[in-house]
Amino acid sequence: MSDNQAIADSVAKLYDTYPFPPDPLLDEPPPGYNWRWNWLTAYHFCTGQIPQKQDIRILDAGCGTGVSTEYLVHLNPQASIIGIDLSGQALALAKERCQRSGADRAEFHHLSLYDLDQLPGKFDLINSVGVLHHLPDPIRGIQSLAAKLATGGIMHIFVYAELGRWEIRLMQQAISLLQGDRQGDYRDGVRVGRQLFAALPENNRIVKQDKQRWSLENHQDECFADMYVHPQEIDYNINTLFELIDASGLEFIGFSNPQYWNIERLVGKSPELMARASQLGNRARYRLIELLDPEITHYEFFLGRPPLAKGDWSPDKQLLGAIGEVNPCMHGWPSQSFLNHDYQPVTLAEGEFAFLLACDGTRTVTEVLAEVNLGLPAVRRLHSQQLLLLQTA
């Protein structure tokens, strides 16, 4: 047996023992949304415009127990969705989850990321969250994903960051040492890890970090095992991350949590430092941000297969002729106060609220502005905030 196959078998065994994620099965659609799993909002984030088609193919690559797959089905009613995973036990739960909630358009395959060539055709949207960093060869994994991405398609990836997971890696290694020849017995690993956290002093750095960030989540053994006794993990920094991205041959569109990658939040009070940072290239600036904020635990980002047409609404004529509609991922809408796609509170002025109410996906901005007193700068702000989605008439 090859080393890579042995690692794959170990990862499958972990998730057969502790299927992940352990979210409860529901007899109704899941609550809320993740906008990154909604084709319309994800595509608009990447391009600045609404996609021309909704009847797309979506691949959930490393679907686990189907939490993401279920959302993908319910958030994309015209799409066909395929989920793959290494773990048979996780896939069994994924199938049950989707059947129970009415997400019956999902199709599942017991496959590795390396074996995607066994699936026919290409995909318009690929979702792969928390998977590549558990492969022995992530570059081969991302290249396998890239080969299945259709022209003009987008892919959302999530991998771990080394600086924000430093204490986690220390605990992983400590558990491994204490397990000795029982490594691979994941129930024993969880037992050892629980005992370690109970025995260590309260002011221990690893204990403090776990209490501050992870203890509520890790109350469940499935989460604890995924974090602390995983047999295979590769963490990244900005430099190694972009080596992975460059190997895909795809276009880096941007981080899907862009607020974290704004240097102004860290050194904005110093004009001189901001000026110096502005002289850096994007990757160097990203590296500076993670060095100054080493609590960043992961990277989440979009890649695309060119050509990926981008909407340009900077000319007034283009904006006035665009058709607008409201972002479907907003909690509490319609109201002047609601939560946006990132579950952040938003309060609209009366004119902004009236404008968005009138944007029904059939009328141009010009037609709406004939009824609502709002200037184009305010319309552009609504668009930049992802509250207003635009498409060419």
Where among 228, 247, 281 does a domain terminate?
228
Question: Which pTM value belongs to this model?
Answer: 0.96
Using DSSP, state whether 249 is helix, strand or coil: coil
Is 347 exposed, middle or buried, given 0-12, 13-18 or 19+ CB atoms closer than 10 A?
exposed
Kindly state the average pLDDT of the residues 29-52: 97
- Is pLDDT at 2 greater than 90 in this prediction? no
Could you give the CA distance from residue 156 to residue 58 in angstroms, rounded to a whole number?
11
CATH number, domain of 134, equals 3.40.50.150
Give the angle 355-48-358 at the CA atoms, nearest 5°.
15
With a pLDDT cut of 70, the percent of the chain lying above it is 100
Domain containing 206 equals 163-228
215-224, pLDDT tens digit by residue? 999 999 999 9
128-146, pLDDT tens digit by residue? 999 999 999 999 999 999 9
Confidence of residue 67 (pLDDT cuts 50, 70, 90): very high
Which pLDDT score is estimated for 40?
97
- Is pLDDT at 385 greater than 90 in this prediction? yes
- What is the secondary structure of 332-359 as a DSSP string? T-SSSEEE-TTS-EEE--HHHHHHHHH-
Could you give the CA distance from residue 173 to residue 366 in angstroms, rounded to a whole number?
61
Kindly state the average pLDDT of the residues 61-65: 98
Residues 214 and 345 in one domain: no
With contact defined as beta carbons under 8 Å apart, do 120 and 46 qualify? no
Kindly state the average pLDDT of the residues 341-360: 97
Residues 266 and 130 in one domain: yes
Which pLDDT score is estimated for 119?
98
Residues 26 and 151 in one domain: yes
- Is pLDDT at 1 greater than 70 in this prediction? no
Residues 102 and 152 in one domain: yes
Residues 293 and 149 in one domain: yes
- What is the secondary structure of 168-214 as a DSSP string? HHHHHHHHHHHHGGGTT-HHHHHHHHHHHHHHS-TT-HHHHHHHHHT
Is 251 exposed, middle or buried, given 0-12, 13-18 or 19+ CB atoms closer than 10 A?
middle
Kindly state the average pLDDT of the residues 42-64: 97
Residues 92 and 215 in one domain: no
φ, ψ (nearest 5 deg) of residue 380: -65, -35
Number of domains, the chain: 3
Average pLDDT of the chain?
97
Kindly state the average pLDDT of the residues 84-109: 97
Residues 130 and 249 in one domain: yes
Could you give the CA distance from residue 357 to residue 333 in angstroms, rounded to a whole number?
10
Residues 47 and 76 in one domain: yes
Which pLDDT score is estimated for 4?
86
Of the candidate ranges 3-12, 117-126, 261-270, the one whose mean pLDDT is the lowest: 3-12
Where among 280, 304, 328 does a domain terminate?
304
308-338, pLDDT tens digit by residue? 989 999 999 999 999 999 999 999 999 999 9
| Domain membership flag for residue 296 | yes
Residues 44 and 93 in one domain: yes
